[in-house]
Amino acid sequence: MAEPSQHTSRLCLLDRKSGQKFLIDSGSEICVIPPSPTMNKSPQSNFSLFAANNTKIPAYGMVRKELNLGVRRPFIWTFIIADVSSPIIGADFLKHFNLLIDLKKKGIIRPSKSPWSSPLHVVPKSDSTVRPVGDYRQLNSVTEFDSYPMPYLNDFAHALHGKRIFSKIDIFKAFHQIPIAECDIPKTAVTTPWGLYEYTHLCFGLVNTPQTFMRFMHEVLIGLPFCFVYLDDILCYSENAEEHRSHLRTIFQRLSSYGLKLNISKCVFGVTELIFFGHLITPDGIKPLPDKVQAVLDYKQPETVGSLRKFLGLLNFYRRFLTKAAEQQYLLSEFLKGSKGKKDSKPLKWSSEAITAFQRCNQAFADAALLAHPSPSAPLALHVDASDYAIGGALHQVVDSELQPLGFFSRKLTSSEKSYSAYDRELLAIYSAIRHFRYMLKARDFTVFTDHKPLTYPFRQKRSDNIAADVLSRVSAITFPSQIDYDCIAETQQTDQELHTLIASGTSLELKKVTFPNSSTENMCYLSTGTARPYIPKQHRQDVFSAMHNLSHPGIRRSVHLMKQRFVWPSISSDVAKWARHCLACQKSKIHRHTRSPLSSFQEPSQRFDHVHLDLIGPLPPSNGYTYCLTMIDRFSKWPEAQPLKDIMDCG
């Protein structure tokens, strides 16, 4: 190590707690600090310190110091007390905490003269080092958000059925391998103990960093069905060792072609069990990590609301492995009502029932199920249940006549749902479970199992006793006579000026001719959505609307949705909304929730018939051909008049 002179222009750090200034010396192997004036300077024989010129430096012991460098966390380190003139921070400190010195040497940051600046703070990593992160909240608030989709973490298990060999690949300094556009580099400037620095490569803290890197990794590994990538972590899976070597070789070639390097210390190759994003992957399925299970079993009974919230958060990360989690956690979650978050120090008053619930949650986590890898061809079974205060479901697949769990779902009932009948709660459980597992149930046949007898009753009747259900099951086989004349529509399309203008304008509408059932002519249809939607000329639009709307008289939004699913024309949404709003059958039978006009005031009239109120009533039951009544009241004299009308447009 080199002892500095009193006056130096070298890099320094200021401890804001003690006011001491520490010189940065990456050539020094250790951190040293001069003795205090009152210290007994008796050299210790177990220390041998030498300067750069091999001069021996007396050492007097060790001291553990806590430094405040202004980066939002303390740095605790052991210093050697030595006969030096100034405190020195050496390479051991810089290497352990991975501070910006290393980033500067690698060209990831550089000194900046930017008009922008953001605070710097450091985040502890799992290996006890820290990661410098810019506090870019102000910059992020004015940044256009990149909406590139991030993978859903639980999706990695969907491709693992039948796979027995696994590898995990970690990209070295992943974000730092992507350069930032030169015009945007000044915006990344951060204030550090050494002055203002800016990043030349992608860094932590920027709102679009994950999306940018995810787009890049998808480009690198596109077309490889044997791997799952989430940011800088790649999971590779194969059926046997030979296939796995081929898969790894392909991945390495892709990474090499893009200049990406691997963090070998974090990579795991060719194993039958693998830890990936908090889960233990095996050939038979996935389950929580053993150390997480042990952490829950060793978790002391929480004393405050904040510590209880942390405990429940740990459980709920693995909620899909737990059966009836909502029911087991019900009493504990009641403690959280009105809490202020994880820092809530409000003490808990434990009852015997709550203590039992806490112990039951611990044991349930210890008994967490092994979730099988989903098979695309296995039959699915959805088991549901409901209690007085919770509902739940379990999705299984049937393999070799055995049920294999794929996931569990549960939630508390709301205050209004608790008043439901048992029948309705069971129906709610079925509905909620199907919605929860819809990503696995879509386009698949599955069977719902329930222990509620009334729900199963309609499906257990003989055909002669279950006529209603039998008829409903045959609805899809019935062909309704169409009220829409597609031949007439096709004929009108040939002379429709609006359609010809659309085609000539180079519209994005993909219009092609299609022949409909019960029609001998071709209709011009919009095909980009996968469904043939005929273009409806103006003179047929209201007739087509009436034919569809009169089937069940749906509301405005539903009518618009149904029409847009089946037909196309400009302004279809506004036209359908107007016609649905004016439907007399809907007005007579449906509840109108906004029937009152806003309160207002009128000027006092000064003479008769100066101010007259008019209203139109109808349609009424016909009387001598009259179906409407026009009413008039003079505000000054209150004189009423009523005039019958045969039609709403009658001016006679």
pLDDT in tens, 530-553: 677 888 999 999 988 988 888 888
The β-bridge relationship of strands 165-170 and 190-192 is unpaired
* Mean pLDDT value across residues 434-441: 87
Check: CB of residue 349 under 8 Å from CB of residue 312.
Answer: no
Which has more pLDDT, 319 or 139?
139
Contacts of 468 (CB under 8 A, 6+ apart): none
Q: d(Cα 484, Cα 487) in Å, to the nearest integer?
A: 9
Mean pLDDT for the stretch of residues 318-343: 76
DSSP conformational letter for 476: G
Q: Compare 64 and 477 and report the one with higher pLDDT.
A: 64
What does the pLDDT read at residue 18? 78
pLDDT band at 123, cuts 50/70/90?
low
Does pLDDT of 368 surpass 60?
yes
Q: Which of 98-107, 143-152, 194-203 has the lowest mean pLDDT?
A: 98-107
Query: Where are any strands of DSSP class E within 470-531?
Result: 511-515, 522-526
Residue 320 pLDDT > 50, yes or no? yes
Mean pLDDT computed over 43-68: 76
Average pLDDT score, the chain = 80
Confidence at 6, pLDDT banded by 50, 70, 90: very low
- Three-class secondary structure of residue 214 per DSSP: helix
Residue listed under structure tokens 């500067």: 104
**pLDDT category, 308, cuts 50, 70, 90?**
confident
Report whether 81 contacts 35 (CB < 8 A): yes
Which of 136, 14, 146, 29 is CA-nearest to residue 92? 29
Quick one: pLDDT at residue 631? Answer: 92
State the pLDDT confidence band at 596, using cuts at 50, 70 and 90. low
Helices (H), 9-64: none
Find tokens 């005031």 and name the residue: 601
Question: How would residue 477 be classed by pLDDT, with cut points 50, 70 and 90?
Answer: very low
Contacts of 188 (CB under 8 A, 6+ apart): 116, 118, 134, 136, 180, 198, 199, 203, 206
For residue 369, the tally of other CB atoms under 10 A from its CB is 18
pLDDT digits (tens, 9 = 90+) for 333-348: 887 776 665 566 777 8
Lowest mean pLDDT among 115-129, 421-435, 584-598: 584-598
Q: Long-range contact list for 292-300, CB < 8 A, 24+ apart?
A: 292/318, 293/365, 293/366, 293/368, 296/362, 296/365, 296/366, 297/362, 297/365, 297/366, 299/362
- Kindly write down the DSSP assignment for every residue of 342-367, as one continuous string: TT--PBP---HHHHHHHHHHHHHHHT
Predicted confidence (pLDDT) at residue 127 exceeds the cutoff of 50: yes
Q: How many whole angstroms separate alpha carbon 645 and alpha carbon 630?
A: 7
Which pair of structure tokens corresponds to residue 476?
């899809």
Residue 474 confidence (pLDDT): 38
The pLDDT tens digits for 74-109 are 777 788 888 887 888 776 676 666 555 566 767 788
Tell me the average pLDDT across 431-458.
82
What is the C-alpha to C-alpha distance for residues 500 and 516, in angstroms, rounded to an integer? Answer: 21
Could you tell me the two tokens for 566? 């089946």
SS3 62: strand
What percentage of residues in the chain have a pLDDT greater than 90? 9
Those residues whose C-beta lies under 8 Å from the C-beta of residue 428, and which sit 6 or more positions away, are 386, 391, 413, 417, 420
Q: For residue 84, what pLDDT is reported?
A: 82
- Work out the average pLDDT over 549-569: 87
Report the candidate in 27, 30, 99 with the shortest Cα–Cα distance to residue 63.
30
d(CA 645, CA 628): 5
Segment 514-521 shows an average pLDDT of: 71
Query: Is residue 652 very low, low, confident or very high in pLDDT (cuts 50, 70, 90)?
Result: low
Q: Is the pLDDT of residue 438 over 80?
A: yes
pLDDT at 399: 86
**Strand (E) positions, 366-439?**
371-372, 380-386, 390-399, 402-412
Shortest CA distance to 288 belongs to which of 318, 268, 262?
318
Residues forming beta bridges with residue 132, ordered by sequence position: 122
Question: 373-426: per-residue pLDDT in tens?
Answer: 888 888 898 888 888 888 888 888 888 888 888 888 888 888 888 888 888 888
Residue 1 confidence (pLDDT) above 50: no
| Torsion angle of C-alpha atoms 27, 33, 34, 36, degrees rounded to 10 | 180
When pLDDT is cut at 50, 70 and 90, the band that residue 250 belongs to is very high
Q: How confident is the model at residue 41 (pLDDT cuts 50, 70, 90)?
A: low
Task: Give the whole-angstrom CA distance, residue 431 versus residue 450.
Answer: 12
Place of tokens 């209201």: 542
What pLDDT is attached to residue 479?
Answer: 38
Beta strand 390-399 with 380-386 is antiparallel
CB 87 within 8 A of CB 22: yes
Assess whether pLDDT exceeds 50 at residue 125. Answer: yes
- Residue 254 is predicted with a pLDDT of 92
- Range of 43-57, 503-517, 535-549 with top mean pLDDT: 535-549
